[in-house]
Every structure is written in C-alpha cells, then in structure tokens.
Structure 1
Amino acid sequence: MTITIRPARWLLGALLALACAAAGAQIIRPIVIRPLPLPDPESFVEISAGLNHTCARKLNGKTYCWGRNDQGQIGFESTQLCGGVACVARPRYVMTGRQVEAGAAHSCAIDSAGAAWCWGSDSHGQLGNAPDPYSVRPTPFPVSGGHQFHTISAGETSTCGTSPEGLFCWGSIAGSAALPLQLSTNASFQSVSVGRAHACALYVVNSYRGAYCWGQNQYGQSGVDWNAWSGAVPFAFNSSLGTAVARLQTQGDFTCADQINGQVQCTGLNQYGQLGSGQSFSATYVPQTVGVAMALAGVATGWNHACALDPNGLASCWGNGYWGQLGNAASDVFRGPQPVAGGRSYRAIASGFQHSCAIGTDNRIYCWGDNRFGQLGLGQGGSWYWTPMTTLDPV
C-alpha cells in the first residue's frame, strides 16, 4: 500500500501554492511514503549446528533438521544411511516454533506458546521429559513441568532454558536431573548457552549486561580463576569481560561473547586457537579479544572452532580446521580469524563439531566441513568440503 499525504482541501492547497509562489518560496509537493517490503515468511532466520547434525528455522516458525540420526536427533525416524549410520542428508520438517537448538545428539525447540520440546538421546536426562528418562526419543516430546521459556540451549548432554520463573537446567550439568531443575528464581536472565560441561547466561538489569556461568572450569571456560571456583550455582564472569555483553555463546570447553562495542572476546580452552587472539597458550580464564579488535558479531562457538560475521556480513572462522570447518580452503589450525571463501554475505552463522553453516543474504543455507553424516544437507553423506556448499531445499 502506498500512503500519499495530500492537502485537506483543494482550495486551501491552491491558495497556499499561490502565496508561496508570490513570495518566491519553493512549492512543497505531496510526499509519497513507500512502506518497506514485508519480510518473506519463508526466509530462514535461525541456524544451529550440533555435533553431527544441523537445524534451521524460518520466519514462519517452520523448523528443519538434517544430518546424523542414530539417536533420533533429527526429530523423526529415517531409513537413509550415511556410512552405515542412520542419517537424513537434506533438511526435513520437524515442527513449528520460535527457536531451535542442535546439541551433541539431541535437539530442542520452543513452540509459539513458549513450551519446550526435545528429541534425540536422553543418556543423561537432557530431554527433560521424565517419567521415561535415559532413553531415545526420535520425535519431539514436551519437556516436563509445564514451564514457559524465553530461550533454550542444547549442549553436549545438558539443556538449559530461561523463563519468567527464572533459570532452569536438566541433564548432566544439573546432576543428571531428568526434570528441569530451577537454578535461580531471578527473571533477569535473558538468554543461556550450554557447552560440554558448563553453561553461561546473560544477566540484564537496566544498563547492566553481565555474564554468569556454572559447571566445570578446568580450562577457564567459565571466565573465573580455576583456583577459586565452586561451580555449583551461577557465578559472575570475570569482570574484565565487562558489563556490556550483547550475546553469549558456549560450546566445547570455551566461551565467547559479542560485546556491544562490536568486538568478540573468548575464554577457556585454546588447544586449537579457538579463542581467536593469535596466542598459543593452552587455556586461560582471562577473556581474549578475537582478531586484535576486529569488528565482529554473531559469534558461533563449535567444539574446537568458532565463526563470526563482520558488519558487512562477511564470515570469518578460527581454530581447528582439519575437516574444512573454517571454510577457508585449507586444512590446518588457525589461531586468528580467517575469511570464509567466496566473499558471500551472511545473516547468521553456526559452528558444530567439524562443520559450519550459515544463512546467506540470498536466503540460501551454505555449509562446509565434515559431511560424513549428511550434516551439510547435500542429499547424501560422504567426504568433507573446504569451502561453502549450497544446502538442498527442505522437504
């Protein structure tokens, strides 16, 4: 629809025009306001990479997963095999929701009403759906307790979520609790991210935006001196990370944060250079700035690598690249950001175990790295790819 602003009466308009002309003033013509085009509901808006599978969500909520499926982590039973292992090698519809998360061998989503659903391996209670824990569920099943969630995060064998009621976790990080365990009643936790055996949540009160972490910290992944760590409850992150954190991401044994000033900082294990600062030390609890103050955002942590986008949407990755997961046409360890080949602009990016995926500004999904279990969505399993490949359309 085009909205046109016109004079209220033709006579008034004519008189004003004559008066302006007589005074030598410029005649102001009607202004035409053209509304911005509405977003395409079929456009992809979210992507998440797990150990050997990937999930993505469209603006209309349609959620798709693909990759390894031996634990039901794709969300439905399949007969396809990739190297003798059950798989789904192209995106398949799972459910409709407002967030999706791929963990190691399980996945979770939040539906439009705020209810959480999980599927896949429940080896440590990470599906949160007692009274039938520690099994395998190949299709989405509601998380017990009837809680409403803002955000959810699926880690290696744990899951956590933020809620109006506070902060909840289930699985190994909560003592293998098969039901959501309330860690805090504070509703100011805005989001949460779960790694291998630790988790961090973003705590927001007015202008304060700080990180709180819990779980293991032997590599400094929780951002606190490992000699002064209890880990049982959410604990304030190293103060050098500051109080202006825009977003948190954990995976494996390290943590990264988007800062409001446009930089990314990481802390924890650095065996493969996954902290991105160019340093060769093995681990640190002192946050490291990625790429010597490069302007980056949307950081995505994998198990031993990470990726992020610059202000133009160009992707860079760093860390372990042996399987091509850095997308820079090389197989090596890189301790600082490396441009992803192709020069393509992306809207969002995700890092898994040995693969990475991103949503292009052309609304296509591109993946690179290990594809032995079909996690790149190319229609079949196989080898690995050093540069971005176009994922097949969903079915």
Structure 2
Amino acid sequence: MTGPVEDLLRDLAPQVLGVLARRSGDFALAEDAVQEALLAAAVHWPQDGVPDNPRGWLLQVATRKLTDQWRGEAARRRREDATAAEPPPGEVPAQDDTLVVLFLCCHPALSAASAIALTLRAVGGLTTAEIARAFLVPESTMAQRISRAKQTVKKAGSTFAMPGPDEWAARLRSVLHVLYLIFNEGYTSSFGGELHRTELSGEAIRLARAVHAQLPEDAEVAGLLALMLLTDARRPARTGPDGELVPLERQDRSRWDTALITEGVDLVVAATARGAIGEYQLQASIAALHDDALHAEDTDWPQILALYRLLERMTDNPVVSLNCAVAAAMVHGPETGLALVAELEPRLPGHHRTAAVRAHLHEKAGNAAEAVEHYRIAAARTTSTPERRYLLDQAARLAHLGDGS
C-alpha cells in the first residue's frame, strides 16, 4: 500500500497508540493492538474509502483488538472491565501523544538497534515485515527484537508520560540520535546491495518533521531536520545509471533538490540565530556549505574545516575526526590529512572508512601504489555492495594507469 492512505496511517499510528496506552496502562499490548488496527485499515480504507473520523475508527478497532487480547488472559479480566469500553468517534481525545510515544521508544535502557526497530513500528507505523525487509533480516528475528524491546521498556518501569525536567535533555538526545541513525542507514546502507534505503531515510525525515512541529523552538531538533534535508537533497546524484556510487566531487549538482536545500538552509540559519550551537546544527552548517557550492572546486573548505574542528571538540567522535582529516587535507594538502588519519587509527581499528580515506589521500598525493592497496583493504572491509564495487573500481583504475596500459 502506498500513497495518501499510507501517509495518513503513519501520521495517526502514534496518536492512536498514545490514547490506547494511556487508557490501558500497558504499552506493549496497546502497540500490538494498534498494529492490528493499522493492518485492518490498510485492507479496508483503499476499498471502502477513508472514514470521516479516521483517528476514531482506528481507536475503536484497536480497542476491540486489545479487549480480545485481555479476554484471552484470565489474569487481566479486572483491567478489561475498567478500560474496555469503546468510545464513539466523537469522544476521541484531541491530545497528540506522538512525542510521548517517541520518547518511550527511545528509552535509554534500549540498545540502538532495539530503539530503531520499536520506533519504526510504534511511531512510524511500519509493519514488522517492512522493518525486517529494510534491515535484511527474517521477519521472525525482527519480531523477537521488537518484543524484547517492549519488555525492556516495561521492566524499566517507564510510565506513559513525558520525562521530567531532570531527564528531558538526555531523553531528547536519545530521540534525536535514533532518528539520526535511521536516516544514516537509509542514506548509506551499511549492508546489502542497495546504496539507499529510501523507506528509512524518508521515515526519519517524516519523524524529524513531526518532532520539529511539536518543538519548533528547539534549535537542535531544527538542526537535525536541516541536516537530513540538506543531505537528502544530494541523493538523486549519488548513483549512476547502474546504481553505482558517485562521490560528492563528481556529482552532477544540477540534479540536487534545490527545494530541500532552501528549506534546510532556512532551518539551520534560524536555528543558529537562537544562541547555543549543538552538534546537529554544526553538521547541518557543513552540509549547507557543500550544497552551496555550484562546483566541487568552489567548496569553502577552510570554513568546513573550522566547523569540523569545533564539532570534534564538542563530540570527541573519531568519525568526526576522520572527516576533519579530509577537510584538513583539502586545505593544507594530503600529507597533512594522512598524518591525522594515522593518529586516528587506534580509535577506528579495522574500519573500512579509515582505509578508504587513506586511499583517497594517497591518490591525491600521487602515491598510486599505496592508494591501490588501501582501496582494496577498504573494499574487503565494507559490508555494502555498492561501496565495495566503487572501491574496487578505484583500485582497478589506478592499477591500470600504473601499468601504463
């Protein structure tokens, strides 16, 4: 199912889940009931038309499903009596609990993988099968992961409510980090035969928009949304006719999405004007500088290097440091970048991106043999088929030039 009905269901899923979880006090059972209601809507609405009150329709069906679950569990009969009444559509509360559901799905007790899976199902409205396909795992494996995630949240004693002031900042960081991970996996898949998984990157953008709509004054929320838009704007030019990876400096920039770039720039400019600067705003500012260059040679590398150095001090993240090394090489020469990468090796042991950066910088320095060696090392380490093909192609191209043939 695709189109307006699917979009509507994904918008309504966390809202209906919020109402049902508040009434029942059982997030896990409520989430299962909402999933069944979404499946029922996916079958009936395209044939019968969207009801006048789709939110009320989903809540009624989900409530029936929840009641059916309780009827099968004798120990829960008292709770059934208290909460099984089905409200008519006109009595559906207007409160939107999307943000509450998202905070619960990104609970700090969960691993990143579990939080991503639970978020995509409970907030994104994706079925277990859809999530399993996106991550190339069996549906049964993903079902177990989601089930364990819900049990972990339950054991953590979490209530269906927004975190208090003392927890707010840390929990919001968790939410933003999960959305960031979902987007990154969609934009550059870490495994499999496709470079992009647009169902993931698109869902991350949709959820980031939802959070921004509810927290419009939060600069880091705006920064994350801006980063996603500015990055996704380049997606049409990232692959060639056969799906091969096209690096940034070789992309046809006329294919970039100018509407997304404009929206992303406006967001990051407004966010940075609010005062304190966070890591997502810095990353969005770097992305905006890349998108602003009409040609690769027009890129403002000194400004990008300055922003990466600030981001490096803020996060102490070795991947940020690796990107900083690339920017330093573009400003001060490839030997400077290679020296910085060598310092990073203990912090990124065996990482394919370290080898790929070394190969790229050796090529810029004119060290063809070393570049070939590191392109091949990077290709052996990556689990992404498009990246492997690209790296091997670069190694073959340089080896061919070295042979003089």
**TM-score band, normalised by the shorter chain?**
under 0.3
Structure number with higher helix proportion: 2
TM-score by length of 1: 0.25
- Give the TM-score, by structure 2 length: 0.24
Higher normalized contact order (CA 8 Å, seq sep 6+, divided by chain length): 1
